[in-house]
Amino acid sequence: MTDISPAAITDCVRTVLDRDLADDTDIFTAGVDSLAVLRCRALLKERTGVKVPGHVFFEGRTPARIADLIGGTHAGR
């Protein structure tokens, strides 16, 4: 089980986009693109050591849902 909280995702997106957003904000509506997704993934890996695949971002769309998917992916292994 991997412990990545929605707050950790929100923090990364906030760092990358340099703007505030809530756990249930659609990050793609908020201006995240595929380059920003890669930045977030690199930052998450640096901060938590977890390598998150890109599709988790594209499917999850909100920090809360992305955190759910990451937990689910790792819990299933």
Question: Contact, 52 vs 44, CB < 8 A?
Answer: yes
Q: CA angle, corner 30, sides to 24 and 72, nearest 5?
A: 40
Is 30 a binding residue for other proteins by CB under 8 A? The answer is no
The only residue of 5, 58, 68, 71 in contact with other proteins, by rule CB under 8 A: 58
Residue type, 15: T
The only residue of 3, 20, 29, 45 in contact with other proteins, by rule CB under 8 A: 45
* DSSP code of residue 31: T
Residue closer to other proteins by CB (options 53, 72) is 53
The only residue of 14, 25, 30, 39 in contact with other proteins, by rule CB under 8 A: 39
